[in-house]
Amino acid sequence: MSFLKLFKSENVANNSESIWYENWQLLKKNKSAMFGLYIIIFFVLIAIFAPVVAPFDPYAQNIDIRKLPFFSWPYILGTDDFGRDILSRIIYGARISLVIGFISVSISLIFGSFIGLISGFYGGWIDKISMRIIDIMLAFPYILLTIVIVALLGPTLLNAMIAIGIARLPQYARIMRASVLAEKAAEYVEAEKSLGVGNVELMFRSILPNCLAPIIVQATLGVGSAIIESAALSFLGLGAQPPTPEWGLMIASAREFVSSAWWIVTFPGIAILFVVLGFNLLGDGIRDVLDPRLKD
Amino acid sequence: MENNKFLDIKGLNVSFYTQKGVVRAVRDLDLWINKGETLALVGESGCGKSVTASSIIRLIPSPPGKIESGEIFLDGQDILKLSEEEMQKIRGDKISMIFQDPMTSLNPVFKIGDQIAEIFITHYGLKKKEALERAVEMLDMVKIPSPEKRVKSYPHQLSGGMRQRVMIAMALASPHPGIMIADEPTTALDVTIQAQILDLMKELQEKIQMSLLLITHDMGVVAEMASRVAVMYAGRKVESADVYSIFEKPFHPYTVGLLNSMPSNEKYKHNARLEAIEGNVPNLLEIGDGCPFENRCKYAKDICRNKFPEIKDMGNNHHVWCHFAGELNF
Ligand SMILES: Nc1ncnc2c1ncn2[C@@H]1O[C@H](COP(=O)(O)OP(=O)(O)O)[C@@H](O)[C@H]1O
Ligand SMILES: [Mg+2]
């Protein structure tokens, strides 16, 4: 049956906790997932309150203080080759990276799930056509596909998000389709049909909520990879454009100083590392909770 | 008499077009149920009971399934002639269904109150709040203790018997419950719970004068519940009669086999040990036009191999499809 933990019928408790609540209780016990969640919350707070927490204007250049090493008070993480405060740029960069992560994942989540839901539910030629298109998309090396899409749309940050969203969409479609196929065979679907429930309602109201678990795992892990990918695109000059304080772009534009002023490239890299780590830990934890088969 | 039949199936043929060939799951089936009556449809697994049930509610998976021919009159209306939209309105209204496995026949992510309320919203156009109040009443009707609390439970918080009660409540929530199809409603439950559920179904059925098509392979359940019985074998009906004459004087060797395999049957205890019917159900792909029971029947003759028997009327609405009906001594 579904990924959800449904098999605790001996637990006839009087409390009417939903499965989601129960899963949250389990997740809370998972230390690494919680650590991941704290990292994410930390970055989200920083992003929201960037103007408050950032000590300097991330765009303000000052040729007198170029490439100050880190711990040069008050420039805690030092300054870059234009004399901009690296800490402030990283803090503002969190906004960009998280927005990129959420938007591109939302694109693949919404469209991918929709395609997977429709093709899994209706089957037949709809399924055949959409799955062949998905196969073709998956046949491209992933980063190449992204680059092609950005090249077609033009190199801006928004287009990078769209490209990442589209390029990752096949995975969501596949996952959703597989869960829908499994759920479609479940007896409750038959039972609801026998009560006169129509196709659209069956698909969106009955089956979809039962297919969310694997998609949520995928989406959580996906935010992390989308952040890395947008950094890669910016690094290649296909994403954010200077002087945007995007982490990938910060690394790219200072790469010639890797040996002389290592902190300019290192700290944005560490920021990427932590955010992605946060999403990966959380995603893995959610998977452990939702899919008992993966537990030892 | 004719217009007293709430359900009347005439000459139903259902096939499945599989990769291995055409499976004729139901062949030339005639079946009727009077208003308020319980008909038991019995037979070994794979004989086409569930396919018959799905045909009545028109939920045969298609492809691979197809209703080839026949008529299914429900309350005088041939539902095989209805459009899918019209049929959808009848499901959960005049006709409802209970399934075998109460563990999986409720949607795991919704509270049971919401699932019952949904019926009142769809079929009665009630608002959410009123619908929930009705859901509580329904749970009370199927004797679920503290229904106000239970509406807020999720399916996984209920036992199998409770869930089957919820399923019954949902089936009875329909605006014009005319017939309920119960496909092995107690097979997945403990024996003690089985009896409770059957009692409940019987009580409610009598209360609202609803017809019941009870599918089972348990002759004990038949004796308890049904007024008439139809015995199916490999897609065909082989015997039908009222419940008394089936137990008293079965004419088809297969029916006799079924009764012999029933542990608590006094009448057959003396002449036979508790015995399973020898041999296996024939592969529906390879089945010919003869009597499908021929390969397992110790009385089979050449004619059985070649020709499916004509209906034989043994009087008292007792019908048998056996070349030698009435001539055999069991
Ligand atoms: N979806 C299907 N695809 C192919 N064959 C099917 C399908 N459903 C049922 N059948 C065939 O119909 C026959 C009758 O099945 P069923 O009505 O489920 O038996 P039962 O009497 O146990 O309820 C089975 O032997 C099976 O071969
Ligand atoms: Mg069955």
Both tokens assigned to A8: 């605790």
Kindly tell me if the per-residue pLDDT of B2 is higher than 80.
no
Kindly tell me if the per-residue pLDDT of A191 is higher than 60.
yes
pLDDT in tens, B119-144: 898 888 899 999 999 999 999 988 89
Q: What distance lies between CA A17 and its chain's CA centroid?
A: 28
Please provide residue B179's backbone torsions phi and psi, each rounded to the nearest 5 degrees: -145, 140
Chain B nearest-CA residue for A123: B63
Both tokens assigned to A152: 């077609």
Q: Write the CATH number of the domain with boundaries A31-294.
A: 1.10.3720.10
Kindly tell me if the per-residue pLDDT of A155 is higher than 50.
yes
Instruction: Report yes or no: A276 and A284 within 8 Å, Cβ to Cβ.
Output: no
Does ligand 1 lie within 6 Å of residue B61's CB atom?
yes
Percent of chain B at pLDDT exceeding 90: 42
pLDDT in tens, A105-137: 999 999 999 999 999 999 999 999 999 999 999
Instruction: Report yes or no: A218 and A106 within 8 Å, Cβ to Cβ.
Output: no
pLDDT in tens, A13-62: 444 566 778 788 889 999 999 999 999 999 999 999 989 988 888 887 87
Both tokens assigned to A122: 């209706």
Q: What is the pLDDT of residue B264?
A: 60
Residue B99 and residue A9: Cβ atoms within 8 Å? no
Confidence of residue A10 (pLDDT cuts 50, 70, 90): very low
pLDDT in tens, B28-39: 999 999 988 999
Q: What is the pLDDT of residue A13?
A: 43
Mean pLDDT over B237-249 rounds to 92
Kindly tell me if the per-residue pLDDT of A149 is higher than 50.
yes
pLDDT in tens, A240-276: 888 889 998 888 888 888 888 888 888 999 999 999 9
Confidence of residue A2 (pLDDT cuts 50, 70, 90): very low
Residue B158 and residue A206: Cβ atoms within 8 Å? no
Distance CA B122, CA B117 (A): 9
Kindly tell me if the per-residue pLDDT of A73 is higher than 50.
yes
The candidate with the shortest Cα–Cα distance to A62, out of A50, A79, A45, is A79
Kindly tell me if the per-residue pLDDT of B234 is higher than 80.
yes
Choose the closest CB to B158 out of A1, A12, A188.
A12
Kindly tell me if the per-residue pLDDT of B1 is higher than 60.
no
Mean pLDDT for chain B? 87
Beta-carbon contacts of A206 under 8 Å, excluding residues fewer than 6 positions away, are: A188, A189, A192, A197, B107
Interface of A with B in 77-136 (CB under 8 A): none
Residue A191 and residue B167: Cβ atoms within 8 Å? yes
Contact with chain A for residue B93, Cβ under 8 A: yes
**Which residue out of B55, B56, B103, B109 would a mutagenesis test of the A interface target, given it has the greatest number of A Cβ atoms within 10 Å?**
B109
* Torsion angle of the four alpha carbons A265, A267, A273, A279, in this order, in degrees rounded to the nearest 10: -130
* DSSP β-bridge partners for residue B215: B41, B183
Choose the closest CB to B99 out of A11, A187, A210.
A187
Confidence of residue B92 (pLDDT cuts 50, 70, 90): confident
Q: What is the pLDDT of residue B300?
A: 84
For ligand 1, atom 12, which residue shows the shortest CA distance? B25
Q: Which atom of ligand 1 is nearest to the CA of B18?
A: 4
Distance CA B234, CA B291 (A): 10
Mean pLDDT for chain A? 86
Kindly tell me if the per-residue pLDDT of A296 is higher than 50.
no
Distance CA B167, CA B185 (A): 10
Q: What is the pLDDT of residue A189?
A: 93
Distance CA B40, CA B5 (A): 15
pTM: 0.82
